[in-house]
Structure 1
Amino acid sequence: MSGVDQGAFAALRTQLQDAAASFADGPDALADILLGIVDDVDRALREPLEIFPVCHHSPASALAMARRLREKQPKVVYLELCEDMAPLLTELRNCRLPVAVQAFATEVEGFPVEWAPLSVVAPITEASAEYQAIAYALDTPGVELVLVDRSADHVFQWQEQGARTAEPADPDAPPAEEEAALHGDAIGVELGDLRPRFVELEEHLLHHGRVRHWSEWWHQYVELPLGDSDHDTYRQVMFLIGSLFRRLAPGNPHEVRVDEDRERYMWTRVREHLTATGTDPAECLYVCGAFHAASRVAEFGVHGSDTFEISPPSASTWQYGLIPSSHAAIEAQFGLAAGSVSIAATEWAKNVRRTGVRPFRLAGQTGASKPGKRAKPAGPATPSAPADPVPATAPSDKLAGFLRRPPVLDRLDEAELLGWSVEIVRAARRNGYLASTADAIAVFETSILLAGMRDRAKPTPYDFQDAAITCIEKDVVPGRRDVRRLVEIMMGGDRIGQVGYDALPPLARDVHDRLAPLNLKLQQRGVHRALLDIAGQPELERCSDVLWMLRYLLPDGAARPIMGERRLGERPIQESWDVALGTHQRALIELGYEGVSIEQVLEQRLRRAAHDPRATAATVLEAVEDATLYLRGHRLANELGEHALEVLARERSVDGAPDVLRRVRRLLAYYRTSEPALPPWIESFVKTGYAHYCTLLPTAFTDADATVDQVAAMLGFLFSMESLALSLGCDRTQLELALAQSHPVEPSKVALSWAAQVQLGRLSRAELRSRCDDLLANPMVLPAYPRYLSGFLHALEPVPGLVDFVVEAVSNAFRRLPDPVLLPWLPTLVSTLRSGGAELAPLLIREAARIFPGRLAALDEWVPPWLAPPVPDAVRPTPRADRGGGVALLAAHPATCDAVARLLGCDLVWESVASDPPGAALVTRHPDTATALEELLANRWR
């Protein structure tokens, strides 16, 4: 087998050397670059193993690939794709393209912790050369597909520290929509990333090409000319472009090392396979990006050196699967212009129709032709049809002719352009634009004008897009979509892929199976409404459990409850849900990497949250509550509860006291109503928490970092859990000593301390009222009085019995405080009530409604109870010595006596004489009850 003729590019070398001497002061620098490019092309063509250079998502590359595969029919296809993704490729036939092959790792070892989770995606579209190679290899008997690129683990091994960022998107692109986020924050790996890395070169090409972004330049000056070229011309041009971008790339040491290591890695894998199988290189095809095809490493070629050592993978656990992709997601991740991938898909369909080339498609692929009309398999047409041999002589120099050939001026297709103009006006009207027939004519003429200004005989889709924006959008976007987006949709739309049921991980399939009774099309994108009549169909309660767990695990919008809620101790009756699992398919698939069931994943996440080094007692209690709420079991809740006890004992701050109080109250209420006995862990938690907060109480009262609501929550825990703590062996003296050692200075905490002393009986209400009066009478303290009131408001958490006093104190403040003091305090009052509005505001409102008059007319004559004069003894009913107290009261209200008698189980017999009032016999039997009732009412009147 002879190599390429040494004189094949002699004429081109001479022309480039003369050009270098003409345009440069000396021929050395420019000549080395230009002649080096020719050497790279010559070297790639001389390689016995045919190299097929491609560009990602290029219709010209896909068309040339389909044509070459049918001509050559190779026995082995080497493909530049992560080698560990090979087992997933067979599942592509169960999906609707575009989809992305994903490698995902949550258990990270050997990499920085902040990188987790690790994710690598390789998007695949139908208009791509890699898909043509995959479809050919998988559906042709006797053909082997070998992936030779670095593994997903090596992608991160070769990643620079702190450099885990995707390529920035085009600055002129519109804001990304939901479809643009389908890949998440994964690192993208694509076959044939062909773009200048020399910024000045790209700017020069865009300026002289009269285009706005790189995608448009590639479409105009590479895609269209190569669409109808022969195989040899295609290869040489792609080698030339790859070598040009390679030699003019800036010398970033890290990027150069990664590029060269990737080439060494791939050629090492190729030679290993050739050696192991004994395959003739002439029967193989190596598909790689044009940037890597023109390589100068020593390992290049089947006869290259074997000095490259592949490092072993890390200890990270990798999971693999397919996730849905979209044109917008590919554009956003790889910095392409918005709409470029959709335009490429449209161009691919036009090229297939124009050239008659039969593309390859996986059998059973969603959207493929019916079996009766599907293209024939790519196998040999007849048993005697041999594969294309490597030519004995090299192909002739096609570069010189291609570079000298003027651009082909396509005839204007007026019908196509007119159809575009009419369709964009129709779409604009549907989206709220005031477009008319005149706008369609303007778009038509402007498209031709822009193409002429850019030296084009035929307007490209990009010219048409600019014309439509100029003539229709102007400066107003009335709807959700702008004209740029409407043109993209019209040109083919943002095609969104879908992973089929058979290609889903076990967890995702299990979710679909368990939600099957809802009769929803969960595979379809969009929101689906589910109505669950659990009372009438008890079997739907299992679906409710799944939906609530999905709501906890998946992003917002995947499962959203419209009606119904889940609380401790309550059973659902009816629920209504908005379910969008098809839209959030990627999140559901990535959930499947963590376990085989959602219960397992939920348990793992709860354990991870509880055992996080930064977890607090409140965080662990939240995990306990979620485990009880969603998993309906005691094993995990008890385990996490024991851990909450350990975390609480280690805490030295009171930051989480409010959350701890709320969650412990809810759990206690649940266990007391649903279980025969309290779990041991919560008894220990209450006992430990009582001693823990008593120890921290004196410090918290004086600590400036401890807020008043945090101290109030501590007191709320101590007072509300006191009876249980004392029954478990705690000593109340510890609380009394802690309060005695507390000496707060801040006014709100001082008021909180007074309230706690009232609760303990160390301070009477009369003394508390006297202290408040002294504060109002002191001009020096008067500006700080609202802060005392804020403390009393927070005191309703630990001492709710002070609600009447708080109403009295607030009323006195509004009556006596001057406006300069009162008005600035009102925002504080509102914020305090808002923060504790769920519990504090109802208490105040009910008490105020009981005290204040119900009618506006009665307000002028109303006297507050705390300002009313005491009732003289003469008007109070005097009990008869021989009949017991309360006789007059009971005689005045016999109906009340009857009601009380029924409650006590007494006979309704009124025994009396003429001189005795009714009820005397009842009072005689129960004198203590009547006296206690009288005193209670008298004290309330007082």
Structure 2
Amino acid sequence: MSGADEGAFGALRAQLQEAAATFADGPGALEGILLGIVDDVDRASREPLEIFPVCHHSPASAIAMARRLRQKQPKVVYLELCEDMAPLLTELRNCKLPVAVQAFATEVDGFPLDWSPLSVVAPITEASAEYQAIAYALDTPGVELVLVDRSSDHVFQWDERRAEPASDEAGLHGDAVGVELGDLRPRFAELEEHLLRHGKVRHWSEWWHQYVELPLGDSDHDTYRQVMLLIGSLFRRLAPGDEHRVRVDEDRERYMWTRMREHLARTGTDPADCLYVCGAFHAASRVEEFGVHGTGGFEISPRTATKWQHGLIPSSHAAIEAQFGLASGSVSIAATEWAKNLKRTRVQAFRLEGQAGSRKASKKRAALPAPEPESAPADKLSGFLQRPPVLDRLDEAELLAWSVDIVRAARRNGYLASTADAIAVFETSILLAGMRDRAKPTPYDFQDAAITCIEKDVVPGRRDVRRLVEIMMGGDRIGQVGYDSLPPLARDVHDRLAPLNLKLEQRGVQRALLDIASQPDLAQCSDVLWMLHRLMPRGAARPIMGERSLGEKPIQESWDLALGTHQRALIELGYEGVSIEQVLEQRLRVAAYARNATAATVLEAVEDATLYLRSSRLANELGTRALEVLATERNVDGAPEVLRRVRRLLAFYRTSEPVLPQWIESFVKTGYAHYCTLLPTAFTDDDATVDQVAAMLGFLFNMEGLALSLGCDRTQLELAFAQSHPEVPEKLALLWAAQVQLGKLSRADLRRRCADLLGNPLVVPGYPRYLSGFLHALEPVPGLADFVVESVSNAFRVLPDPVLLPWLPKLITTLRSGGAELAPLLIREAGRIFPGTLTALDEWTPPWLAEPAAEPVSALRGGGGAALLAAHPATCDAVADLLGCTGQWQRPEPEPRGALLLDRHPGTALALHRLLAL
């Protein structure tokens, strides 16, 4: 650049060139960077369309913006914000800041399905320059606000899918992509570390507060603008060469300048009457499209077919800090500084008329003064960079008030703080500020001093001193969206819950009592609350008393509601439908038809459709889907859940419907054949757990009657057991129990096998695994509860102490982990068998040891059997007719029919004889 074209910054260029030659031993890279920064500042300053660089949530930027808007009074304000969010900005009047403008999409078209749902948020606080611009443009007649940044759709078009999702600390914003206006933070880690070390600060927020916020708080417009351009250019030139990041940054700048030139050409507006508000990083741009006379022909790609929903969600200082990597408490401190700057500078800030949470404005708004004449920008950087830091006078009254307040807050939270601690905090704050070359302690110095002087080894309450200082400095302010700005679904929820007479928009937990028996109208509120409990995060609607189960009607319920705290989740439900019933139906369908859907998850959807929506149409549709999914499954992972849900649904339909629905009959029939086919493989597969195999057997045994009545063949089950050869002890015990249920194995044989296990020293260490199998067998064969009690008792009776004591912990852990649901059945059976007093225990004999030996059939025929048959001929005849036995009684020896009955069924006769003998 020639000397004639150096402009207002010629002297600064000469000084920087001389400094580069001195400190770098000659011109080189350093000179190029320093002179390039000056060129960036000069280029942006001479642009006909005034560029106003800002930093997000910066009180200095907000003060400078308010001051500049009153001086210039532009007719068009171009704002760096997603262009599709423009219609929402007028709704800010109904909200309490901070809030976030959100674009949300659940159904994606043009993006990978695993990206869904898509969310973009732009948080807005009162102490931000963009809010000042929005308030000025919306409340000033004849002023147009134009959003020029890429749309929400383009945010994801240009996204190379982040490797890691956002952490849960993002709070109210969740894992949404944040759009920050004025992202000013060095991307060069070594530069940031250098600034923090030499600035004697801990983090970036403190450096910015000390070296940018305070010096620029009272500066004039030209100084502020040139310093922000300088910082933006410096960070841009020292940023690492991430090609994707650089390309996205430059494409955003091309996008914004293209939109601004299109608007100027369409409306014929004079660029001198416009103001372009953007981050300082983008203000120092070097793309060809830069400026109203830029050359480049950037083509904006069309949006995808994704349907975007837009709305306002509550935000908070903590959510903003977490999402954009700011230090904890920095946004709250910025809000406090904003309030102090307004009083000190007497700048009149802009506020939207009727803004929620603000003081009522006067009916007659003050007219703006005439715009001040513009003058050519002068070099203010040279004086600013050469000026020594202005030492702020110590405000003893403010620091003393801080010290007293923190001691008071500490005492309320359990700390043993006293007046001496307040004096120590006061003096330590001054000491720390002096060690860091500051005449006036900053809030960060005061926070360090409070932690040093008050916090001891243990935090007595929920909050430590750091958190108490943050609360004292302003706290985590949480915004709120007004009723009129809520989507239709959220307003409908508020209207339907109106009979509860609660302030649902209020944050915190509120108790709702529903006496449905005396007030039947509250049943509708109960339906809404249960659907909210199903759809919203935990804690939004939590039942305290009462439950929703199939076939039962509610009588009384008690709820803890926190809809105001979870307002964001309620608003996002409104993006999915116009009523909670529609949203719930859509979600059930999505879950049922998902690629990874299992029969258990689809049955859950069927149950929810019946439970919450009472929709037989939807339940039949989803039930048919469950049948399709079950037929395609090749594993038994979901067998326990399938069994539980099918049992509940069958019990419900049998008591509430005249006939079973067609889908559940088909499901039982298909499931019977399906599990018979998979049973042999499940017994030998290491991936199939014992509880899954037990659930399969439970399905086969419990549904057998219905399945056989629908046309299934019991031979399938017999063949499945014939092909089952498990080797694992748990599954082997489960097979034995199933054989007892089928009559393939008697209890006496099962008892002998367990006795053999206890008598084998090599098997004794693994005996708890057999007991685990028997315990799981209580699911399909609950009649074995007494045998499990017998098996455990025999182990304690037979095993010697050297074997029993090392084995006992394993037994307890096995029973606890493997039989948590079936333990009550086992305990009940043990209580029935064992005596209730210690005295009775000495004379007690286990029933399995006192059982008489089996009597031969010949004895029954010769004596007792003949007498039994003679005493009860009618019963014998009836049983013989059922079994197809023919013959006549012969006197005096009634042998033929009775003898034939005894020959064919000796076990039944023996059991009947013992029963009558008792």
TM-score (norm 2): 0.91
Q: Which runs of 5+ in 1 are unaligned?
A: 169-175, 888-931
Report the CA distance shift for 1:613/1:871 in structure 2 as closer, same or farther (over 3 A).
closer
Q: Does 1:203 align with 2:193?
A: yes
Distance 1:685 1:17, change over 3 A: same
1:474: Cα distance to partner? Answer: 3.7
Matched, 1:298 2:288: yes
Distance 1:437 1:147 in 2: 53
Give 2:881's aligned residue.
none
- The partner residue of 1:372 within 362, 366, 382 is 362
Among 734, 751, 757, the alignment partner of 1:769 is 751
Distance 1:217 1:693 in 2: 67
The letter for the 2-side match of 1:281 is P
Unmatched runs of 5 consecutive residues or more in structure 2: 874-907
Of residues 48-57 and 195-204 in structure 1, the stretch that sits farther from structure 2 once superposed is 195-204
Structure 1 residues 36 and 750, CA gap change in structure 2 (3 angstroms)? closer
CA apart distance, 1:370: 1.6
Which amino acid is 1:65 matched to? M
What secondary structure is seen at the aligned counterpart in 2 of 1:535? coil
Deviation at 1:316, TM superposition (A): 2.0
Runs of 4+ in 1 over 6 A off after TM superposition: 871-874, 877-884, 932-935
Q: Match for 1:797: what amino acid?
A: E
**3-state SS of paired residue (2:379):** coil
Q: Per the alignment, do residues 634 and 828 of structure 1 end up closer, same or farther by CA in structure 2, a change over 3 Å counting? A: farther
Instruction: Confirm or deny: 8 A CA contact 2:775 2:818 kept in the other structure.
Output: no
Find the counterpart in structure 1 of residue 405 from structure 2. Answer: 423
Name the CA distance, whole Å, in 2 between partners of 1:935 and 1:38. 106
Are 2:172 and 1:182 aligned? yes
Q: CA deviation at 1:880?
A: 12
**Using the alignment, how far apart are the partners of 1:615 and 1:303 within structure 2?**
57
One of 651, 656, 662 as aligned partner of 2:633? 651
1:783-803 deviation per Cα after TM superposition (whole angstroms, max 9, x unaligned): 444333332222222122222
Which of 315, 334, 342 in structure 1 is aligned with 2:324? 334
Change (3 A) 1:736 1:538: same
**Partner Cα distance (1:676, 1:514) in 2:** 33
Match for residue 465 of structure 1?
A: 447
2:770 to 784, 788, 802: 788
Q: Which structure 2 residues correspond to residues 1-150 of structure 1 after superposition, within 5 A?
A: 6-150=6-150
Question: Within 1, Cα distance between the matches of 2:92 and 2:339?
Answer: 20
Amino acid at match of 2:577: G
Paired with 1:152 and 1:733, the residues of 2 have a C-alpha distance of 62
The CA distance in 2 between the partners of 1:18 and 1:473, in whole Å, is 51
Match of 1:307 among 279, 293, 297: 297
Gap change, CA 1:702 and 1:204, over 3 Å in 2: closer
Could you tell me which of 456, 470, 475 is aligned with 2:457?
A: 475
2:237 to 226, 234, 247: 247
Which of the residues 839, 842, 850 maps onto 1:860? Answer: 842
Q: Structure 2: how far apart are the matches of 1:853 and 1:250?
A: 80
Task: Classify the secondary structure of the residue corresponding to 2:353.
Answer: coil
Within-5 A mapping of 1:149-188: 149-163=149-163, 181-188=171-178
Any idea what SS the aligned residue of 1:197 has? coil
**CA separation of 1:245 and 1:668: change in aligned 2, threshold 3 A:** same
Q: Does the aligned pair in 2 maintain the 1:115–1:164 contact within 8 Å?
A: no
1:752: how far off?
A: 2.2
| Preserved CA contact (<8 Å) 1:140 1:377 | no
Kindly indicate whether the alpha-carbon contact (under 8 Å) linking 1:343 and 1:488 is maintained by their aligned counterparts in 2.
yes
Name the SS for the 2:407 alignment partner: helix
Q: Deviations over 1:255-291 (max 9, x none)?
A: 2111111111100000000001111111111111111
Deviates more, 1:221-230 or 1:772-781: 772-781
The aligned residue for residue 672 of structure 1 is: 654
Structure 1 residues 851 and 314: alpha-carbon distance in aligned structure 2, compared to 1, 3 A threshold: same
Give the counterpart of 2:264 among 274, 296, 299: 274
Letter in 2 for 1:637: A
Q: Deviation per CA, 1:770-820, whole angstroms, max 9, x where unpaired?
A: 333344444454444433333222222212222233322222222113345
Aligned partner of 1:445 in structure 2 is 427
TM-score (norm 1): 0.89
Secondary structure of the residue that 2:360 maps to in structure 1?
A: coil
Structure 2 residue identity aligned to 1:330: I
- Relative to structure 1, the CA distance from residue 267 to residue 938 in structure 2 (aligned partners, 3 Å threshold; closer, same or farther) is same
1:496 is matched with which residue: 467, 478, 489? 478
Shift of 1:409: 1.4
Q: Choose 769-778 or 663-672, whichever is displaced more.
A: 769-778
Residue 544 of structure 1, aligned match among 507, 510, 526: 526
For the Cα contact (< 8 Å) 1:54–1:238, is it kept in 2? yes
Q: Which amino acid aligns with 1:512?
A: H
- C-alpha offsets along residues 673-703 of structure 1, whole Å, 9 cap, x if unaligned? 1111111111011111111111112222222
Which string of whole-angstrom CA distances, capped at 9 and with x for unpartnered residues, describes residues 430-469 of structure 1? 1111110001001111111111111111111111111111
- Matched position secondary structure for 2:787: helix
Asked if 1:344 is matched to 2:320, the reply is no
Q: Aligned partners of 2:489 and 2:678: how far apart in 1?
A: 46
Cα pair distance change 1:730/1:441, threshold 3 Å: same
What secondary structure is seen at the aligned counterpart in 1 of 2:849?
coil
Q: Structure 1 residue 232 and structure 2 residue 234: aligned? A: no
- The amino acid across from 1:395 in the alignment is P
CA RMSD of aligned residues (A): 2.6
- Given that residues 525 and 583 in structure 1 are in contact (C-alpha distance below 8 angstroms), is that contact kept between their aligned partners in structure 2? yes
* Residue 767 of structure 1: how far off its partner (Å): 2.9
Which residue number corresponds to residue 255 of structure 2?
265
Map of 2:416 onto structure 1: 434
Residue type of the alignment partner of 2:99: V
Q: How does 1:624-773 map to 2 (within 5 A)?
A: 624-773=606-755
* Aligned mates of 1:825, 1:794 — CA distance in 2: 20
How far apart are residue 224 of structure 1 and its match? 1.3
CA distance in 2, matches of 1:464, 1:702: 68
Q: CA 1:210–1:749 in structure 2 vs 1: closer, same or farther (change >3 Å)?
A: closer
Shift of 1:878: 8.6
Matched, 1:572 2:551: no
Question: How far apart, CA to CA, are the structure 2 residues paired with 1:716 and 1:144?
Answer: 71
| TM-fit CA distance, 1:347 | 1.1
Counterparts in 2 of 1:389 and 1:78: CA distance versus 1, 3 Å: farther
Q: Which moved more, 1:75-84 or 1:231-240?
A: 231-240
1:210-229 alignment, distance < 5 Å: 210-229=200-219
1:8 is paired with a residue whose SS is: helix
Q: Distance in 2 between matches of 1:938 and 1:490?
A: 83
| Cα distance, 1:210–1:766 mapped onto 2, change above 3 Å | closer
- Structure 1: which amino acid aligns with 2:310? Y
Q: Are the equivalent residues in 1 in contact too, given 2:772–2:818 (CA < 8 A)?
A: no
Q: Distance in 2 between matches of 1:618 and 1:645?
A: 11
For residues 822 and 316 of structure 1, the distance between their equivalents in structure 2, rounded to whole angstroms, comes to 66
Q: Which amino acid aligns with 2:34?
A: L
Q: Secondary structure at the match of 2:610?
A: helix
Alpha-carbon contact 1:833-1:840 (below 8 Å) kept: no
The answer to whether the Cα contact below 8 Å between 2:772 and 2:815 also exists between their aligned partners in 1 is: no
Name which of 577, 586, 590 aligns with 2:568: 586
Letter in 2 for 1:122: A
Q: In structure 2, do the counterparts of structure 1 residues 654 and 142 end up closer, same or farther at CA, with 3 Å as the change threshold?
A: same
Pairing 1:851-890 to 2, within 5 Å after superposition: 851-868=833-850, 870=852, 885=871
**Which residue does 1:899 correspond to in 2?**
none
Provide the identity percentage.
82
The alignment partner of 2:234 has SS state of: helix
Shift of 1:610: 1.4
> Which of 818-827 and 294-303 deviates more?
818-827
Which residue type is aligned with residue 939 of structure 1?
A: L
**Would the aligned equivalents of 1:139 and 1:377 in 2 still touch at CA under 8 Å?**
no
1:748 Cα deviation after fit: 2.7
Q: Distance in 1 between matches of 2:651 and 2:231?
A: 72
Alignment correspondent of 1:518: 500
Instruction: Output the CA distance in 2 between the equivalents of 1:694 and 1:766.
Output: 27
Shift of 1:838: 6.4
Cα distance in 1 between the residues matched to 2:464 and 2:852 = 76
